Amino acid sequence: MDSFVKVWYVYLTLGGFILAIVTMGPFSLLLFFSAALLLLLIHYLHPMHIHRWTLGLQMCWQTCWHLYIQYQLYWLQETPDSRLLLAISTLMLMTQRVSSLSLDLQEGTVTIPFQNSSPIPFLSYSFNFPALLGGPLCSFNTFVQSVRQMNATPPLASYLGRLTSKIFQVLVLVWIKYPLKELLKSLTFRVNSPCVCQNIIWIWILSLLLKMNYYAHWKVSECVNNAAGIGFHGSRSGKSSWDELSDGSPWVTETSSRPSVFARQWNRSTAAWLRRMVFKRSNRSPLFMTFGFSAWWHGLHPGQILGFLMWAVTVQGDYKLHHFLHPKLTFKWRKWLYVCLNWAFTQLTISCVVVCVELQSLESVKLLWSSYIAVFPLLSVLVIIIL
């Protein structure tokens, strides 16, 4: 291994250790355990068996802490330590990386034999500080290529230009949250209100506000990776590429006119990870298995279980409806009408999903069922039954 590259691995790994200890305190041990477990499994297990053990043990370890959080919230009625919540959130991201790496080893796409090389690249991949701050997920080979590219100095103007552009996007996303908050304050949500549209609009705006938090966080993660030198893959067509690590564009996601397209664009690297881990490896009901695994990975809170179930039903209904209507969209006005109506339907059903998943508790379920917006996910059930 080149000495320069090794220095970068050490720099990224030490940064991760320091960041974990400073921000999570004793709960950083949750991450240290996962990182050590990964190295032990890579060292002692055959590549053909490593993925099953890595994913199984990591998910069990993560689930134990998720259940402990629920025990504190619902049984003890206590607010969990913020450092523990941060550690579990980071542990979820580490689950993505270690399972992705273990599947790479099983499939033979990672060709570096552990016994004949330093464990530093593997440790750095699972514990580098930009990844601890929120992703986005990339493969081990992409990470290694990014670190090697740090030796190649990118054009300074291109580097500063892309970083400045992404920081500006973060500021715009953060600014958008303020008018959304003012709109929520101006509109009052009333249980069993006779004003149907007001409650629907209120929940839709609430979901937009929650989604803006995610969009801003993902864009900040891109900035941190680029600032650390990760994500540059040389020049292509005369332009420097800094967009290899991205969780998607807010504009592309929000303009998606089908629930299935929204699902693929939302948190794009996680969607690709779920597709690879579950969807492509499931023989029965891969769609529902994928969304069920996502609910498990997120923590199995009551709102999360219902939210991901609604999402799976909505996507399944979208597939059936599109297959039924697409041959009939022979005129341009029909296509535009279908796109506009489906965009509105996508926004309203995704609003139900986001509110359920983000609020987590049964209170979010009661909030939805007190509004007519809950009718829209039920329409997908009718589509599945009828078609």
List, by residue number, the catalytic residues.
Answer: 267, 298
Q: What is the CA radius of gyration of the chain?
A: 22
Residue 300 sits at φ, ψ, to 5 deg, of 60, 30
Q: Contact at 8 Å (CB) between 260 and 383?
A: no
- Cα-Cα-Cα-Cα dihedral of 350, 352, 353, 359, to 10°? 140
SS3 156: helix
Q: Contact at 8 Å (CB) between 241 and 247?
A: no
Of the candidates 201, 214, 228, 202, the one whose C-alpha atom is nearest the C-alpha of residue 124 is 228
Of the candidates 202, 197, 183, 250, the one whose C-alpha atom is nearest the C-alpha of residue 355 is 202
Could you write out the DSSP letters of every residue in 52-108? HHHHHHHHHHHHHHHHHHHIIIIIS--PPPHHHHHHHHHHHHHHHHHHHHHHHHHHT
Neighbour count for residue 122 (Cβ, 10 Å): 24
Residue 236 sits at φ, ψ, to 5 deg, of -130, 125
Cα gap 230→238, rounded to integer Å? 20
* 259 cis-preceded (ω within 30 degrees of 0): no
Cα gap 367→191, rounded to integer Å? 8
Scanning 237-374, the segments in alpha helix (DSSP H) are 250-254, 259-265, 268-277, 286-298, 302-325, 332-359, 362-369
Cα gap 348→223, rounded to integer Å? 31
Q: Contact at 8 Å (CB) between 132 and 22?
A: no
Cα gap 28→280, rounded to integer Å? 33
